[in-house]
Chains A and B, each alone.
Chain A
């Protein structure tokens, strides 16, 4: 097995939350909570997920713009290939343990492209100097030599040498992103981390930049960690994809595998969000309700279970999947005390006198997408009883009986990684029982 260029193991980045006079730590936002992946030389790995799932934090921890809390980032480029682990278990190429000199050298091996082209350049510095600054920082004091290299590079990314003396405000967003690419390239790195490099651009310009990245990658044998929330962009440029949810990687695998045969419900939901040119196509329509839960207090078990449309029903229960999701949501809302019965009554009444109880019951069911009757008689009885208690303003008791009756294994067991094909893994309880992935398969 060839050595990966970048090998991330169990990387964590927790932001402490401090409170009080003594700044005592009361908790932590677990932005990145134990992710692992490898990038082979010349390969593009996509990191995809919705906003707030920790993609960007993962990137800045990998490149050590922020200090990771725990974990290991082994970077084997930049002439550091083939190093073996030391007897005490640490790796000599572990970026998180680099000292200042090693870190500076590492900067020549890994660079980054930022999301917002308008703020990623100093407005008071000509773009030529902004690109040349990296050469200067790394010891090239010859001004003319810097200029020659940067001018050549500007032409390579599709601008002209005359642009050297122009200022960021004289360029469009797409042009600035080309310059950002030049800046990332100028030290001839082995790895470029691109943090949503095209999401601030028009679609037509996106395509140009993507193909430029593709060309440059091919020409200089770059590895790419490409972060995006846009599955269609990922499909265009990546070799492999890692899908992230709430600080964890839920599925990782080759692009074709993930797109044709997604294994994790979250991946399915993401894929269904890609617009298709055919208006009659029946694909899509998986709607994720609610927002990403707070990373300070992530859900137990599988972190996706609060929003999953394929959440597992306990043994002996077999109801309609939509009803099941609705029941779980209903339970969570009742427990959280979010249901305002008075409000529901008012909505139903719409100006008339007090509505019949049955109407209120129906309205509550509609609100949570629960069918008129639930297939399972026990559950149906519990539900009716809970709604009844709710209507009598006994929220606490209602929450109690719902919590006792409606449970899912997803909330109790943390899913292990299962293997679905070559290099294709996911973490979902529905696949439990298949051969689970051996720990850290790439870590020979």
Chain B
């Protein structure tokens, strides 16, 4: 009979069921595991069996090498796909609702498109475009549609009309003093930007959310101690700390990301704590507790998702800070000059500003637009994900 008609709630024999279903993994968790395990194995393989100079993918005949930071980047991308993109696809109704709310904000839609370009460019660019090569013969080429005095570039790639060298599509954004193509360098800089954005966000979110919810739920003196620790983190001079580490160990991009995100989660933790406190007063949390769910399940299933949607905004607004910090350090000449970031490019063009401004302007404008886009996006997400507005409309 049970096979014919749908089962009714009052026909379930609970004593049969009570002990089953302990390891009930969601599709998302399974996907994450299935993709993260090969990544970890690959990392272990490189670490244990390959020499420092051997490219990671030499066993399949590829030249490409993966740095430690690339592993972290891929890992955060996997998290992004399985726990942000896939859930959006799994819940089309909610996605459509958010999208309707989001697209009311025109600048934010444009920003999203721009960030999409930076994301795809950063992800695929380095695979499609070969790294910029030093070629002193083509140094100081002007961008396309512009011209400079003939004497500025070593040899002019484009036409020379009336003593002025005109830019070509071969170097749409011109070249640097070393003859490197600025456009290619900007594309490589997109990768760095995305690495900073994704890895810092992941670290800050992971520490901030766990610290904040733990503090909110522990209460009492544990809460007190944890929040005073947050005060310390917030007042910690990150820049000086970074300088110190730099002088002792030297600092690449990885070190920058680690230092700045490990000292940058204080505000997030505080926000998460207050948000979890207010959410845990809601009736749906009581309803969940009364269902017999464990505290862990209540936090994982209800508190964190509801906190997450509001801290996405906060995190989005945190990214520009990291990007700017990186650019500033690069501009000051602190940091690894071999990292092809926009900041390094700006820094490299600094001395040529008077006669070759495009070396500074092109990455500067791109950086400016990206930071602006993150800010617009953050604002629009705040409106789109605001649960109070939902309740009032509903």
Contacts and interface: CB of A to CB of B under 8 A. Distances in A.
Interface of A: 60, 63, 65, 103-105, 107-108, 111-112, 114-116, 118-126, 130, 133-141, 145, 148-149, 151-153, 165-172, 180, 183, 185-188, 220
Given A145-B7, A149-B8, A118 B391 contact: yes
B394 A187 contact: no
Nearest to A150: B9
Interface stretch (B137-145, B269-277, B278-286, B317-325): B278-286
B391 A134 contact: no
B306 A120 contact: no
Contacts of B302: 122, 125
Given A139-B18, A140-B17, A183-B287, A134 B94 contact: no
B19 interface: yes
Interface in B93-122: 93-94, 97
Contact of B290 (A105, A107, A149, A188): A107
Counting chain B CB atoms within 10 Å of each CB, the highest count among A123, A152, A168, A171 belongs to: A123
Interface in B1-51: 6-10, 12, 14, 17-21, 24
A124 B94 contact: yes
A139 B283 CA distance: 23
B292 interface: yes
Nearest to B24: A141
Interface residues of B, number: 39
A122 B7 contact: no
A320 B391 CA distance: 53
Of all A-B residue pairs in the complex, the 8 with the closest CB atoms, nearest first, are A141-B21, A107-B292, A169-B394, A120-B283, A139-B17, A148-B6, A134-B291, A188-B10
A152 B8 contact: yes
8 contacts: A107-B291, A122-B288, A134-B292, A148-B6, A149-B12, A152-B7, A152-B8, A183-B287
A140 B393 CA distance: 34
Given A119-B282, A145-B7, A187-B9, A139 B290 contact: no
B219 interface: no
Contacts of B284: 119-122, 130
Contacts of A151: 6
- Please indicate which of the listed interface residues A65, A138, A180 has the most CB atoms of chain B within 10 Å of its own CB: A138
Contacts of B21: 136, 139-141
A411 to B, nearest CB: 38
Given A140-B17, A151-B6, A123 B290 contact: no
A114 B292 contact: no
B75 to A, nearest CB: 25
A141 B291 contact: no
Given A119-B284, A139-B21, A170 B394 contact: yes
Nearest to B20: A139
Contacts of B163: none
Nearest to B282: A119
Nearest to B394: A169
Contacts of A104: 292
Nearest to A124: B305
B250 interface: no
B309 interface: yes
A168 B9 CA distance: 22
B228 interface: no
A164 to B, nearest CB: 11
Given A120-B284, A149-B8, A137 B309 contact: no
Contacts of B9: 149, 152-153, 185-188
A326 B14 CA distance: 61
B149 interface: no
Nearest to A161: B6
Contacts of B287: 112, 114, 120-121, 180, 183
A169 B391 CA distance: 6
Nearest to B306: A124
Contacts of B291: 107, 111, 133-134, 137, 183, 187
Interface string B383-394: 000010011011
A122 B292 CA distance: 16
Contacts of A65: 286, 289-290
A34 to B, nearest CB: 24
Interface in B338-394: 387, 390-391, 393-394
Contacts of B64: none
Contacts of A123: 306, 387, 390-391
A136 B8 CA distance: 15
Contacts of B290: 63, 65, 107, 111-112
Contacts of A187: 9, 14, 291
Given A123-B391, A151-B6, A188-B12, A138 B286 contact: no
Question: Among B8, B17, B94, B292, which residue has the most Cβ atoms of chain A within 10 A?
Answer: B292
B306 A168 contact: no
A119 B387 CA distance: 11
B68 interface: no
Contacts of A148: 6-7
A172 B393 CA distance: 10
B224 to A, nearest CB: 12
Given A108-B292, A169-B390, A140 B283 contact: no
A169 B292 contact: no
A118 B387 CA distance: 11
